Amino acid sequence: MDFKLFKEMLKKIFFIIFTAAVLACHAAPKVQPLVEGVTNIKPDEQQQLVIKEVVNLIESYNYKKIQINDSISSLILDKYINTLDKGKNYFLATDIKDFEKYRFQLDDDFKNGDLSAPFYIYNVYAKRLNEYFSYSLAQVKTKFDFNQNDTYVYDREKLPWANSAATLNDTWKKRVKYELVNLNLAGTTDQAKNIATLTKRYKDLQSQTVKVNNQDVFQYLMDAFTACIDPHTNYFNPSNAVAFNEDMSRSFEGIGARLQLENEVVKIAEVIPGGPVFKSKQLNAGDRIIAVAQADGDFVDITGWRLDVTITKIKGPKGTKVRLKVIPAGKEMSSKPVIVELVREKIILEDQSAKKKVKEVTSNGKTYKVGVISLPAFYADFKAANAGDKNYKSTTRDVRLLIDTLKNKDKVDAIIMDLRGNGGGSLVEAISLTGLFIDKGPVVQVKDLRGKIEVDEDENTGVAWDGPFGVMVDRLSASASEIFAGAIQDYGRGIIMGSQTYGKGTVQSSIDLNKLVNPGVLQRIAALVSKDRTTGTAPGSVSDIKLGQINLTMAKFYRVAGSSTQHKGVTPDVVYPSVYPMDKIGEDTEPSALPWDIIPSSSFKAVANLAAVKAGLIKNSEQRVANSLDFKFLIQDIKDLEVRDKEVSVTLNEAKLKQERDAKEAKSLARQNELRALRGLPAIKKGEKAVKQDSFDFIEDESLHVMADFMQQSGNYVMNLGSF
């Protein structure tokens, strides 16, 4: 959230929480019921404090002005149970009946910092998980008859909760059979090998279940809680908060490698270009890390650790040293490890930043060069910017450089901004990026919870690009993407192409809960926290207490013309069939979403009126789409998806299942070769894979043709924009 009112609100929030927290933490929570057969996970004092303060923040500052009452409590219980067991594969009807006593109790419990009920519910869930994984392991060696005409109901969501363990046992037995059938159809007819594969799969699942800690459970709960308020008020536990902020800044401090967990061992999945690992040339993808040491300290064996805990040990401030014990790829785990020493650096994630390419399109005998800028998110490294780093990472800075290259080196005739899949990000960047294409003026309006409207403007005179411009969007384009696309559309600055956007028109403020709580309370919690056995960190330090972060919905976005982007999103000028199901994805599919509304238009001057031009663009595009084999297949896919969406079961008869899959694969192969023939590519045979170079972006291709039409029909439509 980037408007002046936030500072004023933050002061009030600080005062309320500062004083409230002094009085907090004294009401003792109820005794949490124990569940036999599992290690009972319990909340800690930090989480008890967090839940109270999150309730306070939501009641005081959420845009909905909502009160956490019995109605909300009921919604939270249902959402939480659904989060844990949406498919009704674990809980029994007796469990659900037992949980009913909490239906109208959670609101009061949360205000008192009492988390015993949701943690008890999770422990019951963990018990059921363990029971069915154990049952499945016992069933793996069953000699199944794959010629029977039985079926496996994989989607039980609309069925009643199972009345007995025997009912779910039958479901899990059929799941085991289904997975064995799949292994058979995958080409492995050796039943002993398939049994070993499936046994390992279920043991791995059990192993991961054991690693779940109270931070995970708290995150499950908070996800359910905040989803009942609105879709975009979110709490992030400490590790998730770090990941969120790194994603926003497109950078982090560490060794420059992506890690994954495989057979309880951390493996390097990818080396990030330019980072310490890349520069050292001592590590490669596939190498396994078995121990970590900080600087000249002792090595700590990390085998069997959770991946997120391991990552916190390997990452660290730039300039610090870390040592790793590594088993190189291809060597046995019993091999002598290699010790690699690295100095951590700041890593810039270039592969997740803005990129450009130049495409050519021919229309009516004339060829145009079009620059396409792909933008995955609206990012900014605010930490670096606030520290005075003149080269801090940001969307606008990156795009400005790309435009300069496209304009002066590539000599393009037009530019398209590709915002497909761009879920948003920084409001400041959305405003400044818009300013690269319009002269100074309003970009977005923001209405706060008091009804006060603020107009946020681009205050920089001139533009970076004054030529023909287009924006590609889809159903996953949201938030800042919608602000940018909406402003370009309202100003008449360019053509919006694609499908209706997501409809996320709310403003969130990221609040670090540590900064809002009385330091004395943090010290008290630090003294109470027991030694962390996983990481070996000693208790007692306030710096060890991390409360996490809440992104709180505090306002709504409105376009400069007055229409909200909330719920309805942005409707493109030239509309294509949606690749994504519109009834499954989007703000209008969220039960707790805020409604669409309008406010008065801001005072802005449109660049041009493109109404007459749009009519011709739409007509030409509709004709191409109607004659396009790609779009024909897309429409068929949409219809097929609607049919599959209604299916809840699958046959366990191996011959029938093989016949169904062979038919689908044959249809897919025939379709693929039909498209390849259209593009002059050789046909591929069954089992062959198309190489990356063979891929074709038909949405982008149609957008290029729209831009060619635009240039031919509109002429030099942009007036008085100026340039940098």
Active site residues: 479, 490, 504
| 3-state secondary structure labels for all residues of 492-559 | CCCEEEECCCCCCCEEEEEEEHHHHCCHHHHHHHHHHCCCCCCCCCCCCCHHHCCCCEEEEEEEEEEC
Say how many C-beta atoms besides its own lie within 10 A of residue 367's C-beta: 10
**Token pair of 299 as six digits:** 């090595």
Cβ partners under 8 Å of residue 303, min gap 6: 264, 265, 290
Backbone angles phi, psi at 478, to 5 degrees: -145, 165
Closest by alpha carbon to 407, among 329, 477, 467? 467
- Rg (alpha carbons) of the chain, rounded to whole number: 28
Q: Please give the DSSP secondary-structure letter assigned to residue 455.
A: E
| 3-state secondary structure labels for all residues of 155-186 | CCCCCCCECCHHHHHHHHHHHHHHHHHHHHHC
* CA distance from start to end of the chain: 28
Pairing of strands 265-271, 257-262: antiparallel
From the centroid of its chain, how far is CA 380?
Answer: 17
Exposure string (b/e) for 273-296, b if CB count within 10 Å is 16 or more? eebbbeeeebbeeebbbbbbbeee
Is the distance from CB of 724 to CB of 437 less than 8 angstroms?
no
Phi and psi based region of residue 263 (left: phi greater than 0; alpha: psi -120 to 50; beta: remaining): left
